[in-house]
Homo-oligomer: A and B are copies of this chain.
Amino acid sequence: MPTRALLSVDTFLLRKIHDSIGRGPVQFRLAGNGAMWPLAIDAPIQVVIADRRTLSELLFNPELAFGDAYSDGRIEVRGDLTRLIEIILRSQLEAGQTPWLSRLWNSWLDLVQANTVKGSHRNIHRHYDLSANFYKLWLDSRMIYTCAYFPDPSVSLEAAQVAKMEHVCRKLCLRPDETVVEAGCGWGALALWMASHYGVRVRSFNISHEQILFARDRARQEGLSDRIEFVEDDYRNISGRYDAFVSVGMLEHVGPEHYQEFGTIIHRAIGNSGRGLVHFIGKNQPLPFSPWIRKRIFPGAYAPALRQVMDVFEPFNFSVLDVENLRPHYARTVEHWLSQFERSSNKVSAMFDSEFVRAWRLYLCGSIASFRVGNLQLFQVLFAGSQCSSVPWTRAHMYADDRSEEKQAAWIQSAS
């Protein structure tokens, strides 16, 4: 076949890809032979595809192929990667369809990444047992790897993570000497905050060995070991009775088929008189994460629609008291993470390799884009048992400057 014919086939395929993402301000190029679409050369974003194999993979299984080829360097993006993903996500939202190969991949991943006790352990190990030194490079000083709360978008990440912990504690109306059980505690920041600033006793469960060791060490350093117990165990093994339950950024790893079981465990822990808060990445509609994210970054993860989460609360007659959607806060949080990550990319590359850097860059940019476009949401759900007596009359206390104990006691009393 003459070169000119091949060139026109390449151009045709590049055009198909360009059409599939809604004809945004993006130019696709095939390295080597100069094939490109659109022909205008001033597109602010250029996607350079290394070879024909990658090009055809992109056509057949776009989500997975893009992720893998970007990671191993067969795709290069010149321009704003986050913006490119936003364009792709918007076109998917408008089309309202998941490509069939993605659906197939998702079914397969459901199977091999099932969140059984053993499966959860394997899934969690792959992400959270990466060295704490790696996460230190780009998280805040307290190592909080969940959505922050920005009272004002200009607030620093450091302050926004403290504000998030305050936001959670205020919602839960924690009082001194109450007992709290936490499912999934990361490196322990929220447990430490609750114990030191609210005087509660905390038991925190986590199956990430690395994180538990780190958290215990911090509790010792801060002299809080007598008030916090970090337990290296699955949330399914939570025992004992508590005043409150909290789980920040863990429901994503529970899996929708386990939500009712999760509710059983919460109900066993707080009964009908307790209250709780679950903070998680969600969706407007029940749809899986992108298969690339599930395959390479978060094995076994699932972001539920609110409807699905009701399996946690409904069977136990829990009342949903407050649902807050903090979606823009997560976009901002990951923007901070990304900029720290880029500043540390040489160190990350030395710790792992350049493919790892590219994969994680894609994951961070993709997260920002998803929260910006609305492909992902961030929900905080506050709930209470039918006999809970510590529900305040309004939410005003969460935004009040005067948060003295007397005032808080009055709020609670007035509601009962």
| A residues in contact (CB < 8 Å) with B | 93, 149-153, 284-286, 305-307, 310, 313-315, 317-325, 327-328, 373-374, 377, 379, 386, 391, 393-396, 398-400, 414-415
Contact = CB atoms under 8 A, between A and B. Distances in A.
A10 to B, nearest CB: 35
23 contacts: A93-B386, A149-B394, A151-B396, A152-B393, A153-B393, A153-B415, A285-B315, A307-B310, A307-B314, A317-B374, A319-B327, A319-B374, A319-B377, A322-B323, A328-B391, A328-B415, A373-B386, A374-B386, A395-B395, A395-B399, A398-B399, A399-B399, A399-B400
A322 B320 contact: no
- Report whether over half of chain A's contact residues are helix, strand or loop; otherwise say mixed: mixed
Given A305-B310, A307-B307, A310-B305, A319 B395 contact: no
Contact of A323 (B151, B286, B323, B398): B323
A284 B152 contact: no
Contacts of A149: 394
A394 to B, nearest CB: 6
Contacts of A151: 394, 396
A327 B319 CA distance: 10
* Most chain B CB inside 10 Å of its own CB: which residue of A151, A320, A398, A414: A320
Given A153-B393, A396-B399, A414-B153, A319 B310 contact: no
A327 B153 CA distance: 32
Closest A-B pairs by Cβ, 7 of them: A323-B323, A307-B310, A399-B399, A321-B325, A374-B386, A396-B399, A284-B317
A317 B94 CA distance: 10
B324 A395 contact: yes
Nearest to A397: B399
A306 B305 CA distance: 12
Nearest to A327: B319
A415 B327 CA distance: 10
Contacts of A399: 395-396, 398-400
A284 B317 CA distance: 6
